[in-house]
Amino acid sequence: MKTIKGLIMSIQFFTSIPIPYEVPMDRIHMEKAIKMFPLLGLLQGIFYSFLLYGLMHWTPFSPLAVAFIIWLSLITLTGGLHLDGWMDASDAFFSYRDKQKRLEIMKDPRVGAFGVLSIIVLLSARFLFIYEITLQAVDATYLFILLIPFFSKSVMGILLLKVRAAKEDGLGMLFKNAATPRTLWVYPVYIVIVFGGVLLMLPEAVNGVLLLLMVATVFLFITSRKVVKWFGGITGDVLGASVEGVETVLWMTLWLWHYFAMG
């Protein structure tokens, strides 16, 4: 039951889905929520994949319209939460100030020019990737799209727990303090189960899944070092920016896979 409550807490915090159920904000349930991050991502991916399949096969919409709906669903399902972090972190990063000043900039509720420009580039690039993937979609495409949020939420959980915090307050610290050394043990189990499912249902897609895993791992490795250098550690905004960053990189990887692995 506590595991289900942890999943509900994750959905309440990181999606726009209204669930009228109050989960206690205690250490036990917050740790369960962290364990549910990859499962939350998997549920999001299932929604995106089924939506794409339904639009492609059961509606008269053009590939452009389908791509737009998928692109919009990525924004609406999360309520723009991570995009807000992307803009705040971009404003702070492109200020080229010291770490403390960057943290102050991220706290500012106003959005600067660099935040606006960065969000335009991010969303435009993602729309391009989704549109061209839609034009070339095959059976494996739906599986890969399903796994993009799974990997991004896994990266979010690992960054949260393995990278030092830049400040001693905020929602990120509440989750971080709720964790134990064994909190992340379930993440490799998720990955093993996912690969087992791929081998059983679509073995020809294994190489593509391995590619996505490798890209997510490289992103995690680089980001875990750079955020300490740039911001002094992890904050809620930095975590949100990391989720948007890794998902965009994975969409780009899938876009390139359709060109070179299938071309």
Query: 244 falls in which pLDDT band (50, 70, 90)?
Result: very high
Taking the complete model, does pTM exceed 0.75, yes or no? yes
Q: Give the pLDDT confidence score for residue 109 in this predicted structure.
A: 83
Token reading at 62: 């053009």
What share of the chain in percent tops pLDDT 70? 97
Judge whether 133 and 71 are in contact, CB under 8 Å. no
Token reading at 75: 């924004």
Average pLDDT over residues 219-224: 96
Query: 170 falls in which pLDDT band (50, 70, 90)?
Result: low
For 228-260, b/e burial (b = at least 16 CB within 10 A) is: eebbbbbbbbbbbbbbbbbbbbbbebbbebbee
Helix/strand/coil percentages in the chain, nearest 5 = 80, 0, 20
| Mean pLDDT of all residues belonging to the chain | 92
- Alpha-carbon gap, residue 224 to 216, rounded angstroms: 12
Between 263 and 101, the higher pLDDT residue: 101
